[in-house]
Structure 1
C-alpha cells in the first residue's frame, strides 16, 4: 500500500502541476472554455460568464498548487479532500459533456493536448481511482522537506502563479500551442499533410431479394448481387487526419477574400474578435503602427466578427484608416489572445504576433 500510495502521489501531483501550468500559460483560452460550459446549451449558468476569467485563474492556480502540496506532503487531509472534490466535479462534467456531446474538448491540457470528451472522462476516472487511494490512505503521505519550509513553498508557489498569470494576460502565452504560432504558414496548416490517413467508412448496402432484406457491408464498392437495390448507409469507423486549420475564412460584403489577403507580401493584421468589449486603450498604438506600416508598403487589415456599424464607429472614434473584414469570433480568439492583437504576415506565414500592449515591439 505504501508503494501504491507513493506512485499515486507522484503521478497525481505531477499531472496536476502539468495540467495547471498548461492552462495558466493561457488563462484566456481556459476562460473561453469555461464560457462554453456555462452557456445555455450546456450547464445553463450564464450568470457566471462575466466571471469566467477570474474563475479560470483561481481554478488553475489552485490545481497547480494542489499538485505541489501533494508532492511535498503539506496538509494531507485538506489536500486529499480538495483533490477528491475537484476530481468528482470534473468527472461528472466530462461525463456530461461526452454523453450528451456538449463540449468537444474539455480543455484539460489546453491546446497542448486536445482530448475528445470520452478520453477526458477516461482520464478523470483513472485520476479518481488514484485519488481515492490517496484519500483512504492519507496516513502514508509523509512530509517531504522540512515542515517549516512548507508554508513558504506554498506561499511562493501562489505568488509565482499569479505573477505568471498577470504576465501572460498583459502580453501573450509564453508557449503558443496553437496552429497560428509565429513561423507557421496558414495555407500549409489548412491542407492535409501528404500521405495523411483518410477517413474510413463502412458502407451498408441494402437489397430486396425475394421479399427478404439483405444487408452487405464493405468499404464502398457496389456489390454485384442478385436482388433489387434499396439503399445504402455509411458509418465512419476511423477518423482520418484533419488539417490543423479548417475554419480560416475572411469575408468582405459576403465575398470570400481569404486567399487574396494571405497572398500579400507584406501584411499587418489587426485582430479584434469583438468590438463591443475590445480594449480601447490599445487603439492609439494600433493607429500609430498602422500608419507606419502603410507608409512602408504594408497592406493593413482589421479582422473582427462585429458588424459594419461597429466597425465604422471604431474607425471614426480613433481615426483608423484601414478596412475591417469579417471572420468567425472563435477563429479570431484562437489566432491571438488579445483584443486587439497584432500580427505581421509574409505570404501567409506569421512572422510576428503581439499583444496590443507590446505594439511598439513590432518590427516593420
Structure 2
C-alpha cells in the first residue's frame, strides 16, 4: 500500500461517514467541514492503531530521533538542550505509548465532536510536532555527515544516505514512507489543522455530552491496556515486521542479496577539492576521466555513488547475520538446518560490570636436576623435577565482576530452561542469541543463569526487530519462522511438542 492509496481509502471512508451523518443530522450541516473532520479523525485513528499494535517499534524510532537531536544540539547554539535528549531516550517507551494513545483518542474526539475547540488545538499542536520531525528527517538529507544541521553554508545536494533518521515511523512498520513524502504529507495535513482553528464551531457533534465524555474516557483506558498488552504481556497482536510468524528468512535473504548484487552504479557525486563545487557525473564519464586524466584524483574527490533501485526492496532481513563470539558467521548453518531450532533471543540484558582488584598467590619452586646413568646403554639422562617451595609472592590482578538483572535471570531459570529441558529431542536443538554482550560477559551469564547450549551474538537492533520480548523464544526450521513466544506466553511442553514440533505427523504451520 502507498500513501496515495491509503489517503484514498480514508477519503472514501470519510465521505461514507459524512453521508450517513447527513442522513440523520441535516440541521446546520456543512459537508465540507464534516468531511475534513471525519478524514482527519479516521486517519489519526488508523495511524495510531498500526503503531499501537507495536509500541516498542515507535519507542525505538523515538530513540533514533532523540539521538539525532542530541548530536544536532551539541554542535550548535542549542548545546544547552543536548543533555535533555538522553533522558528522553530512557523514557522513550512511555512517551511512545502516550503519543499513540493521544493520537487515536484525538481521532475519536474529532469524529464524535467531543470538546471541539480543545480537539482543534490538540490537532494543530500535534501536526506541528509531526511536521518538525518529518521536516528534520527530510532536510538532513542536505546536510553532510561532517556538518551540523544549522551550518547552512555547508548544505549540499539532497542525498538520502546523509539522513540522520531513515524514515519517520508515522505508520509504524505498516508503511515505510520516504522522508520527503512524509514531510509533504504533514504539510498537507497542516491545512485541516489550521482549518479547525477557525471552523471548530462548525464541527458536528454526535451523542450527548456525557456519552461523548464516556466514549473518550473508556477509549483512553482501553487503548492504554491494548498498548501495554502488545509489549508487556505479549508480542504485537498484528505483526507488520519482516520477521513475522511464517516468514521464510532463508529464501527472502537470498532474494534480497541477489537483488542487491544486480544493483548498478549510475553516477558518482564528486567534489572539487579547491572550489568545493559538487557535480553529478555519469558512471561511464567518471571511469573515462579517472582513466585518461592523471590529475583527476588530485582535483576531484568522490563523495557518493548513485545506484539503481534493487528489484526487491531491502528489508531488515538483509541484516540477518548471526556470529559466533570469535567472529565466524553462523547464519547459513542456522538457516540451512532442517531440524527444529528453538532460539532464546535476548536483544539487551541489563547488567552491571565493576572491575575489582584481587590478590592471588604466585608460587616459585626450587628446580632439581637429576642425572642418571644406564649401565646397559651407557647413556646418561637428565630429568628436571619440581622441588620444594622457594618463594610465595602475592600479586594484584584486576577482574570484571558481573551482576545481572534479577528479573531476566528469574525468567530464564524458572520459565525458559525448564521448558527446554522438558522438550529435548534429537530433532530439536537449542541456541541463544544475545545482543550487546562480550564473550567474557556471555561466559559469566552462562554461569549465573545455567544456560548450557551454544551461544551466538547479533546486532541488538536486529534482535529487537525479530523479538520485542526480552527474553523470548523463536522456533525455526530450515530458515523459516514457525512461531514466536513472549516470555509471558510460553507454551506448555505438551502443546509445543504436538502443535509445533510435528510429533503427531501433521504439519500445522
TM-score by length of 1: 0.88
- Structure 1 window deviating more from structure 2 (312-321 vs 67-76): it is 312-321
Q: 1:300 to 1:93 in 2, by over 3 A?
A: same
Q: Deviations along 1:297-339, whole A, 9 cap, x unmatched?
A: 3111111121123222222222111121010010000001111
Q: 1:154 to 1:296 in 2, by over 3 A?
A: farther
Q: Deviations along 1:18-70, whole A, 9 cap, x unmatched?
A: 11111111011111111111123356411112211111111100110000000
Q: Deviations along 1:178-224, whole A, 9 cap, x unmatched?
A: 11111111111213379979656534799xxxxxxxx9976759999
Q: 1:255 to 1:161 in 2, by over 3 A?
A: same
Where structure 1 has 5 or more consecutive residues not aligned to the other structure, the ranges are: 207-214
Q: C-alpha separation between the residues in 2 aligned to 1:118 and 1:178?
A: 23
1:181-192 alignment to 2 at 5 Å? 181-192=244-255
Q: C-alpha separation between the residues in 2 aligned to 1:24 and 1:12?
A: 18
Q: Deviations along 1:271-292, whole A, 9 cap, x unmatched?
A: 0011226651421211112223
Q: C-alpha separation between the residues in 2 aligned to 1:12 and 1:49?
A: 29
Which of residues 331, 334, 338 in structure 2 aligns to 1:258? Answer: 331
Residue 5 of structure 1 is matched in structure 2 by 33
1:275, 1:310 within 8 Å by CA — same for their partners in 2? Answer: no
1:156-171 alignment to 2 at 5 Å? 156-169=218-231, 170-171=233-234
Q: C-alpha separation between the residues in 1 aligned to 2:269 and 2:322?
A: 41
1:76, 1:141 within 8 Å by CA — same for their partners in 2? Answer: yes
Residue 69 of structure 1 is matched in structure 2 by 109
Q: Deviations along 1:145-165, whole A, 9 cap, x unmatched?
A: 333310111111012101211
Q: 1:216 to 1:166 in 2, by over 3 A?
A: closer
Q: C-alpha separation between the residues in 1 aligned to 2:257 and 2:446?
A: 43
Q: Does 1:354 align with 2:354?
A: no
Aligned positions, number: 355
Which of residues 130, 145, 150 in structure 2 aligns to 1:90? Answer: 130
Which of residues 167, 172, 183 in structure 1 aligns to 2:235? Answer: 172
Q: C-alpha separation between the residues in 1 aligned to 2:320 and 2:419?
A: 25
Residue 323 of structure 1 is matched in structure 2 by 454
Which of residues 173, 184, 189 in structure 2 aligns to 1:127? Answer: 189
Q: Deviations along 1:124-169, whole A, 9 cap, x unmatched?
A: 1111112111222112102023333101111110121012112212
Runs of 4+ in 1 over 4 A off after TM superposition: 193-201, 215-225, 227-235
Where structure 2 has 5 or more consecutive residues not aligned to the other structure, the ranges are: 1-28, 74-81, 141-162, 271-278, 352-404, 498-509
Residue 57 of structure 2 is matched in structure 1 by 29
Q: C-alpha separation between the residues in 1 aligned to 2:464 and 2:441?
A: 18
Rg (Cα) greater in structure = 2
Q: Does 1:300 align with 2:430?
A: yes
Q: C-alpha separation between the residues in 1 aligned to 2:89 and 2:281?
A: 48
Residue 41 of structure 1 is matched in structure 2 by 71
Q: Does 1:273 align with 2:347?
A: yes
SS of residue paired to 1:343? strand
- Structure 1 window deviating more from structure 2 (190-199 vs 41-50): it is 190-199
Q: C-alpha separation between the residues in 1 aligned to 2:112 and 2:91?
A: 32
Q: C-alpha separation between the residues in 2 aligned to 1:12 and 1:341?
A: 38
Residue 470 of structure 2 is matched in structure 1 by 339
